Amino acid sequence: MSRTLSLAGLFVITLIAGFGWRDVAKGEAPRIEDLQAVLAGKPAGTKELQPTETFVQALANVDALHYGPENRQELTHSAVAGMLSALKDPHTILLEPEAAKQFQEKNHGQFVGIGAELTRDALGAKVRRVFKNSPASRVGLKPNDIITKVHNSAVAGRDLLDVVNDIRGPSGTSVRLTVYRQDAEEPLTFEVERRQVQIQDVYGEVLSGPNSQGKLLIGKLEIRSFSETILAQFDEELADLESQGIRGLVIDVRGNPGGLLSAAVEMAARFLDNKVITSMKKRDGRPETFFSRSGLANGRTYPVAVLIDAGSASASEILAGAMRDYQRAVLVGERSYGKGSVQVVKPLDDGAQLKLTIARYYLPNGESIQRKEAEDGEVLSGGITPDITVENGPKAVQGDMATDKQLRAAIENLQSKLR
Task: Concatenate the DSSP letters of all residues of 194-241 into one string.
Answer: -EEEE---EEEEESS-S--TT---EEEEEE--B-TTHHHHHHHHHHHH
> How buried is residue 76: exposed, middle or buried, by Cβ count under 10 Å (0-12/13-18/19+)?
middle
Give the model confidence (pLDDT) of 18-53 as tens digits.
433 344 344 444 454 544 444 455 555 556 667 788
pLDDT at 183 exceeding the cut of 70:
yes
pLDDT of amino acid 33: 52
Task: Pick the catalytic residue from 134, 233, 341, 343.
Answer: 343
Q: Which of 106, 126, 275, 339 is catalytic?
A: 339
Q: Quote the crossing angle between the two packed helices 32-39 and 2-25, to the nearest 10°.
A: 150
The C-alpha atoms of residue 419 and residue 417 are separated, in whole angstroms, by 6
Question: Out of 2.30.42.10, 1.10.3720.10, 2.40.160.40, 3.20.20.70, which CATH number does the structure's domain 110-197 have?
Answer: 2.30.42.10
CB 141 within 8 A of CB 127: yes
268/315 Cα distance (integer angstroms)? 11
Tell me what pLDDT residue 10 has: 33
pTM: 0.79
Q: Could you tell me the pLDDT band of residue 215, with boundaries at 50, 70 and 90?
A: low
Contact (Cβ atoms closer than 8 angstroms) between residue 418 and residue 247? yes
- Kindly name the residue from 134, 314, 316, 353 that is annotated as catalytic: 314
Which string of b and e fits 41-57 if b means at least 16 CB within 10 Å? eeeeeeeeeeeeeebee
Q: How confident is the model at residue 338 (pLDDT cuts 50, 70, 90)?
A: very high
Residue 339 known to be catalytic: yes
The single-letter code of the amino acid at 302 is Y
**d(C-alpha 293, C-alpha 129), whole Å:** 33
Q: What percent of the chain has pLDDT over 90?
A: 68
> Percent of the chain beyond pLDDT 70?
86
Helix orientation angle between 72-85 and 51-65, rounded to the nearest 10 degrees: 140
Distance of alpha carbon 361 from alpha carbon 56, whole angstroms? 38
pLDDT digits (tens, 9 = 90+) for 305-333: 999 999 999 999 999 999 999 999 999 99
* Cα gap 204→85, rounded to integer Å: 40
Query: What was the pLDDT predicted at 24?
Result: 37
Give the pLDDT confidence score for residue 16 in this predicted structure. Answer: 35
> What rounded mean pLDDT belongs to the chain?
87
Domain segments of the chain as ranges? 2-39, 110-197, 202-418
- State the CATH class of domain 202-418: alpha beta
| One-letter amino acid of 15 | L
pLDDT of 6 above 60: no
C-alpha dist (Å) from residue 359 to 17, 110, 154, 260, 281: 52, 27, 46, 14, 5
